[in-house]
Amino acid sequence: MRRSLTLGLAVIALLLSTSSARAGVLDASWTLPTSNSDGTPLTDLALFRIYYSNSGTPCPGPFLFQMSSPTPAPQPNQSATFKLTGLKNGTTYFVAVTAVDFSGNESACSTAVAAAARGSFVVSPGGPMNFGGVALGAFADQTLTVQNTIGGTVSGTVSVPAPFSVVSGSSFNLVGLNATQTVTVRFRPTSVATATANVVITADGDTISQTASGTGTGAATLTNLTANRPAPQSPGSTITFTASATSGTAPYQFKWWLFDGTNWAIARDWSASNTFAWTPSAPNPNFAVGVWVRSAGETADQPSGSFANPAGSMTIAFPIQATFASLTGLTANLAAPQSPGSTIVFSATATGGTAPYQFKWWLFNGTTWAIARDWSASNTFAWTPSVPNPNSAVGVWVRSAGETADQPSGSFSNAAGSMSIAFPIQVSLPTLTSLTANRSAPQPPGSPVTFTTGATGGVAPYQFKWWVSDGVTWTVLRDWSSSSTVTWTPSTPNPNSAVGVWVRNAGDTADQPTGSFANTGGYRSLPFAIQASLPTLNGLTASLVAPQPPGSSIIFTTSATGGLAPYQFKWFISDGATWTVLRDWSTSSTIAWTPSTPNPNSAVGVWVRNAGDTADQPSGAFANTGGYTSIPFPIH
């Protein structure tokens, strides 16, 4: 290999402050060679090989990294740096570098230098994290800090198994030397026992592990409260409730409660019985049963661990009534939509429960429900809307005679106790009158096509939502706006493509055509196939044989086939590092180039696109590899 290299190598290392890191790094830097052994400038430097080992002669050897040269022609005093990763922290490594040209020739090894690998981050405080005793149902937090010790960017994660968790800082991205992030670790005990786990911090091949420990202290907790019969039941029925508990200290004690919809009363004081039999004498849709639990030895009149232990108490709603009142229908005397000023009469019908029923009527404006008429015996409601609103709706609740709770009969668990009906109010529905394209189908990929629609009726200014289909799925092309046009530039051929549009009135907020899809004039679509054919370059030739001297006039010629003629061509010139536009898009398939200076790395390239394409790229984008080509043409 014709190469004389003087690689001044410096390795900088820092020691990691904890011995639990399992990997380290070294930063290497050297001066790039500038000439060949015959004194000519170095112009084809391809890459460097960085050899390392625990011995004094790493090069040549089996352990190495490769790094591309930042330039094929280095300048005097230009340097390079490389970070060796995955090394054993604290271990001394010997490092040497070689240079390789584009032909694969490798220089002699540089002089080996040595340094100890260092870690990329530290964690403070070090050592175990002891959370002490934490009551069941509660939690405790502790923090640690991760710090960047090598500069650059150190990214990593923090993890720990249950019953510990990382509540903040589970991933970090430390930019710059000494950058830090706080990590919060939480201990939430799940049993009365001591838990131990490892908090593992990993970044860039380094791992630090710290022990976390804590002890769960006991509180009895309820796990279930069930009834032997489903609710509701009629008066005189005997229902047996059963509670189950865990944790704390057995044998448990239980205290039972009854709720009448207003007040809680003791049904049975503390005892060891986890069951309670109740025989209600009167109907009440708001009845509920509750229970507290405490551990053996606890004497406080409260759930185990006080009310801070939410699992120490539990309730179950249990309405008592013959049956629920249920709505069987809600109808209007006029069909929706109606215009403002129309009087619409709504009628509700009900069954079950206890008659005479009571009804509560509601109005919805698209955002909020408001009371239209409070509880009464009337099952009809007359409404005269004053303004248009496509989102209007009417609702009704029913309850049995004697019920006083402001809710449907049997509460909201009785789904048949409430009902609503959408009833839009608007002058008329908007109707799309057309959907056209400024170009005829099919068009090639990369062609911008503008679609235009029009509408009539309803309430202007209209809003339009545009869609595109691949033949299987419709995707939003542009969300709601007042624009009746949209431009679509397809990137790939598809014979099944189509474009669609929805229209809605001014003020409508529902994500659908005004009047919903029952308004068939509120949406349209137009099939628009995108042709598969793309133009392909047949070749690129030069009028003179390379190389040529500066000042020569060389004519380059190309041709294309397929796609849509007349084609357009864009010409480029490369100095070996950067491509520059030689001539912008035109219909000319030839170009004359007169180079002014020598350059062994010169090249000429060309793109082609279809007639009508406006995207600054080959037709079909760079996925069409036949849409662009280049040839080297050195100038000596």
Write out pLDDT tens, residues 604-634: 999 999 887 788 999 877 878 999 999 999 9
Q: What order of strands is seen across the sheet that includes strand 64-68?
A: 64-68, 45-53, 92-101, 113-116
Mean pLDDT value of segment 184-202: 88
- Please tell me the distance from the alpha carbon of residue 488 to that of residue 621, in angstroms, as a whole number: 15
Contacts of 259 (CB under 8 A, 6+ apart): 265, 286, 287, 288, 289, 290, 315
Phi, then psi, of 311 in degrees rounded to 5: -80, 0
- pLDDT at position 405 over 70: yes
Beta bridge partners of 109: none
Span 306-315, average pLDDT: 86
Lowest mean pLDDT among 5-9, 97-101, 287-291, 413-417: 5-9
- What average pLDDT score do residues 509-533 get? 85
d(CA 254, CA 240): 15
**Confidence (pLDDT) at 26:** 81
Cβ atoms of 595 and 546 closer than 8 Å = no
What pLDDT shows up at residue 321?
Answer: 74
Residues 6 or more apart in contact with residue 485 via CB below 8 angstroms: 450, 451, 452, 453
d(CA 10, CA 345): 90
- Three-class SS state of 625: helix
For the ranges 9-23, 245-259, 278-292, the lowest mean pLDDT is seen at: 9-23
Candidate from 6-20, 278-292, 407-421 with smallest mean pLDDT: 6-20
Please give the pLDDT value at position 310: 87
* 275-278 and 239-246 strand pairing: antiparallel
Rounded percentage of the chain residues whose pLDDT exceeds 70: 93
Instruction: List C-alpha distances in Å: 26 to 22, 49, 424.
Output: 14, 15, 71
Q: What is the mean pLDDT of residues 376-403?
A: 91
Among 458, 416, 423, 395, residue whose Cα is nearest residue 333: 423
Question: In this predicted structure, what is the pLDDT of residue 355?
Answer: 87
User: Would you give the DSSP letter of residue 127?
Assistant: S
**Span 495-505, average pLDDT:** 92
Q: What is the mean pLDDT of residues 418-440?
A: 90
Give the pair of three-digit tokens for residue 128. 């175990």
Residues 6+ away with beta carbon under 8 Å from 368: none
Which comes out higher in pLDDT, residue 69 or 338?
A: 69
Q: What is the DSSP letter of 622?
A: G
List of domains in the chain: 10-116 (2.60.40.10), 121-217 (2.60.40.10), 221-317 (2.60.40), 325-422 (2.60.40), 431-527 (2.60.40.10), 536-632 (2.60.40.10)
Q: Do 423 and 344 meet the contact criterion of CB atoms below 8 Å apart?
A: yes
Q: Mean pLDDT for the chain?
A: 87
First to last CA, the chain: 23
Q: What is the pLDDT of residue 136?
A: 61
**Percent of the chain as helix, strand, coil, to the nearest 5:** 5, 50, 45
Q: What is the pLDDT of residue 133?
A: 63
Q: What is the pLDDT of residue 603?
A: 97
Question: Looking at 59-73, 129-143, 148-162, 475-489, which range is the least confident one?
Answer: 129-143
**DSSP 8-class letter at 5:** -
Q: Percentage of residues in the chain with pLDDT exceeding 90?
A: 54
At 600, the pLDDT band (50, 70, 90 cuts) reads very high
Residues in the chain: 636
Q: What is the pLDDT of residue 401?
A: 82
Q: For residue 392, is it left (φ>0), alpha (ψ between -120 and 50) or beta?
A: beta
Confidence of residue 134 (pLDDT cuts 50, 70, 90): low
Whole-structure pTM value:
0.31
What confidence score (pLDDT) does residue 217 get? Answer: 65
CA dihedral defined by 178, 179, 184, 185, rounded to 10 degrees? -50
In 88-119, beta strands by DSSP E: 92-101, 113-116
525 band by pLDDT with thresholds 50, 70 and 90: very high
pLDDT band for 536, please (50, 70, 90 cuts). Answer: very high
* Whether the predicted pLDDT of 1 surpasses 50: no
Do the Cβ atoms of 228 and 242 come closer than 8 Å?
A: yes
Which residue has 């990137």 as its token pair? 491
Which strands form 380-383's sheet, in the order they lie side by side? 325-332, 344-352, 380-383
> CB-side exposure of 433: number of CA atoms within 13 Å?
8
Choice between 467 and 301, residue whose per-residue pLDDT is larger: 467
Q: Which two tokens stand for residue 206?
A: 């380094």
Between 38-47, 66-75, 132-141, 494-503, the lowest mean confidence (pLDDT) is in 132-141
Distance CA 151, CA 21 (A): 17
The reported pLDDT for the residue numbered 181 is 95
Average the pLDDT over 405-412 and give the result.
80
CA separation, residue 64 to residues 29, 82, 98 (Å): 15, 12, 11
Question: Strand locations in 283-384, DSSP E?
Answer: 288-294, 313-317, 325-332, 344-352, 358-364, 369-376, 380-383
Task: Tell me which of 87-96, 336-345, 480-489 is least confident.
Answer: 336-345
Residue 406 burial (10 A CB sphere; 0-12, 13-18, 19+) = exposed
- Say if residue 15's pLDDT is above 90: no
In angstroms, the CA 26 to CA 54 distance is 13
Q: Does 533 score more than 80 pLDDT?
A: no
Is residue 261 a contact partner of residue 403, using CB atoms and an 8 Å limit? no
